Structure 1
Amino acid sequence: MASTDSPLSWRISVPVPATGDADAGNADAPQQEHFLCSSDTSRINLDALHAAMASNLLWWAKPLARPQLVAMVNNSVCLAVYHLKSPDDETGEMIGFARLITDRVTFAYLTDVYILPAYQRRGLGAWMMRCLRELCEGSGPEREGSTPASSGWPDLRSLWLVASTSSAARMYMGALGAEEAARYRATPGVPDSGMLLVEMPGPANGIRHHATKNGTAPKAE
């Protein structure tokens, strides 16, 4: 089994979005696009990450000097998504990113998640979150699309994140198996304002285990 420090990778192929009638009649046009998600920080394109942090895509961030950017990446658990030219490629354009601020044992906070606008609406954000969930929870015997098998973080209590919109929160909750925990910085008197604090309970979530043990856990519908 892989240790928590061993890079993990996942691959996926998705249909190429239709762009008009011209593509429909082109038999040579590619039918699928191929992507790699990897936790290997040595792959990360720091220039691409810097550009994203300097843009409105990561409106909560600001660009960092190179030494600070390197320190941020090296002190986090990062996932990056790459657009590949073929299913077996090992390198490609970095088009997405996410990082965990974590002790790598009991707790993690998810931030700086993005997919470049040109590659959105392909399900890649939700796929990256499913990869992240597998990184934390572990996977069984090696299976297609995931390399290698991982034991995960068995002592993880919780993974937290803040979602700026309800639609983003729903994506995170669906892909991570997470749940809404609270509203954050809501405007008094304005319903559904503010951001959503979302929690993915880990395998060692004591609150959930305590509730189950004492019969206070919510019953499944």
Structure 2
Amino acid sequence: MRTHTEAIPYEVHRDDGFVASDDPARIDLDVVHGYLSRSYWSAGIPRETVERAARNSLVFGLYSSGEQVGYARVVTDRASFAYLCDVFVLESYQGRGLGQWMMEALLEHPDLQGLRRFLLATRDAHSLYARYGFRPLGAPASFMERHDPDVYVRNREEGAKGKTRRGCGHDSRAMLNSNCFLRLMRCWLSLGLGAVLRASQRTASSLLH
């Protein structure tokens, strides 16, 4: 059974109870982030990045008894281009044909029909995607990319350094304020002692006269 309207999310139901849905409200970000952060293609990805990516994409969740067990994300203009990414089925649910079934459901989504180009990248699942018409690039020399595979690690390290610098700055300011206070105290004390000495000198002088 397949349904999709403006008010009702697109859903596909399998005979054994599994459900594929594009309802973003059903996505369990803890499950998605937990898998993606240890995957080979996005290891270390921050949770907020996973959340932002999902919010700006067409997302598919795979569910068993209401619990999310799989995921796929499509970056698309819903008219001419799409890029498939972040596809997974949890290890405990693999071997049941769920990855293939989710792909079939995804490719039948109304917003992914009539596309001029549909891309994906994979390290080891070529045979799976080949079943659905995906092929190696016909003209790879025509494609270019900006690839920064260490961006998540680098941003995390830079964020940690920034916190350290901010902490050091705070400590430095505290030390500076402390030093200024000590200097002022010494100045006040010296002025006070000077005033006492001058008063003593004046008293002694008046007594002599």
TM-score normalized with structure 1 length = 0.56
Task: Report how many residues are paired.
Answer: 138
Per-residue deviation, 1:93: 1.4
Per the TM alignment, residue 180 of structure 1 is displaced from its structure 2 partner at its CA by 3.1
Provide the secondary structure at the position in 1 that maps to 2:61.
Answer: strand
Provide structure 2 residue ranges, at least 5 long, that are not aligned to the other structure: 141-209
Q: Which amino acid aligns with 1:171?
A: L
Cα pair 1:37 1:81 within 8 Å, conserved: yes
Counterparts of residues 37-52 of structure 1 (less than 5 Å) = 37-52=20-35
Q: What residue number does 2:169 align with?
A: none
Query: In the TM superposition, what are the counterparts of 1:120-131 in structure 2 within 5 Å?
Result: 120-131=94-105
Is residue 2:57 matched to residue 1:83?
Answer: no
Could you tell me which residue of structure 2 aligns to residue 70 of structure 1? 51
Match of 1:102 in 2: 76
Whose radius of gyration is greater, 1 or 2?
Answer: 2
**Alpha-carbon distance change, 66 to 101 in structure 1, aligned in 2, over 3 angstroms:** same
Q: Name the CA distance, whole Å, in 1 between partners of 2:139 and 2:122.
A: 10
Partner of 2:18: 35
Alignment of 1:170-209 (within 5 A): 170-174=127-131, 176-181=132-137
Query: Helix, strand or coil: the match of 2:9?
Result: coil
Task: Output one character per residue of 1:6-65: Cα deviation in whole Å (capped at 9) or x when no partner.
Answer: 620111134xxxxxxxxxxxxxxxxxxx2111000100001111111222xx21113444
Does the CA contact (< 8 Å) of 1:4 and 1:104 recur in 2?
no
- The change in CA–CA distance for 1:9 and 1:118 in structure 2 (over 3 A counts) is same
Letter of the structure 2 residue corresponding to residue 80 of structure 1: G
Structure 1 unaligned residues grouped into runs of 5+: 15-33, 85-91, 139-151, 185-221
CA distance in 1, matches of 2:115, 2:48: 30
Higher RCO (CA 8 Å, separation ≥ 6 residues): 1
Aligned-residue offset at 1:113: 0.6
Higher helix share: 2
TM-score (norm 2): 0.59
CA offset digits 1:62-91 (Å, max 9, x no partner)? 34444433211110111110112xxxxxxx
Shift of 1:183: 10
Distance (Å, rounded) in 2 between the aligned partners of 1:99 and 1:123: 19
Choose from 107, 117, 126 the match for 1:158: 117
Stretches of 4+ moved more than 3 A in 1? 1-6, 62-67, 152-155
Deviations 1:108-155 (A, max 9, x none): 1111110011111100000000011101xx4xxxxxxxxxxxxx4444
Matching residue within 7, 10, 14 for 1:8: 10
Distance 1:39 1:45, change over 3 A: same
Percent sequence identity over aligned pairs = 33
2: CA distance, partners of 1:127 / 1:134: 11
Match of 1:179, as an amino acid? Answer: R
